[in-house]
Amino acid sequence: MKKRSMFDIIGPVMIGPSSSHTAGALRIAQIASGILQDQVTEADFYLYGSFSETYKGHGTDRALLAGILGYSPDHPDIRYALSIAEQRRVRFAFIPATLEQGMHPNTVGIELKSHSGKELRIVGSSVGGGEVLITSINGIKVEFSGEYPTLIVEQQDRPGVAAHITYVLAESNVNIGTIKMYREHRGTKAFTILETDESVSSDIIEKIIENKHIYHVFSIVL
CATH architecture of 13-138: 2-Layer Sandwich (3.30)
Please give the pLDDT value at position 19: 54
Please give the pLDDT value at position 184: 85
Specify the 3-state DSSP secondary structure of 67: helix
**Residue 152: which H helix or E strand, with range?**
strand 150-156
**pLDDT class of 149 with cuts at 50, 70, 90:** very high
Please give the pLDDT value at position 202: 95
**pLDDT class of 13 with cuts at 50, 70, 90:** very low
Whether 195 has a pLDDT exceeding 90, the answer reads yes
Please give the pLDDT value at position 126: 93
Whether 40 has a pLDDT exceeding 50, the answer reads yes
Whether 168 has a pLDDT exceeding 60, the answer reads yes
How far does Cα 135 stand from its chain's mean position? 9
**pLDDT class of 20 with cuts at 50, 70, 90:** low
Whether 12 has a pLDDT exceeding 70, the answer reads no
Per-residue pLDDT tens for 50-83?
999 988 888 899 999 999 998 988 899 999 999 9
Residue 208 CA neighbour count, 13 Å, CB half: 28
**Residue 41: which H helix or E strand, with range?**
strand 40-49
**pLDDT class of 15 with cuts at 50, 70, 90:** very low
* CATH no. of 150-220: 3.30.70.260
Per-residue pLDDT tens for 82-119?
999 999 999 999 999 998 888 899 999 999 999 899 99
Q: What is the mean pLDDT of the chain?
A: 90
- The proportion of the chain whose per-residue pLDDT surpasses 70, expressed as a percent, equals 91
Tally of residues, the chain: 222
Q: Where are the domains of the chain?
A: 13-138, 150-220
Measured distance CA(19)–CA(201) in Å, rounded:
30
Measured distance CA(115)–CA(97) in Å, rounded:
27
Per-residue pLDDT tens for 157-166?
999 999 999 9
Whether 5 has a pLDDT exceeding 60, the answer reads no
Greatest alpha-carbon pair distance for the chain in Å reads 50
Rounded to an integer, the average pLDDT of 17-40 is 85
Q: How many CB atoms lie within 10 A of CB 144?
A: 23
Whether 132 has a pLDDT exceeding 70, the answer reads yes
What is the DSSP code string of 111-146?
EEEETTS-EEEEEEEEEETTEEEEEEETTEEEEE--
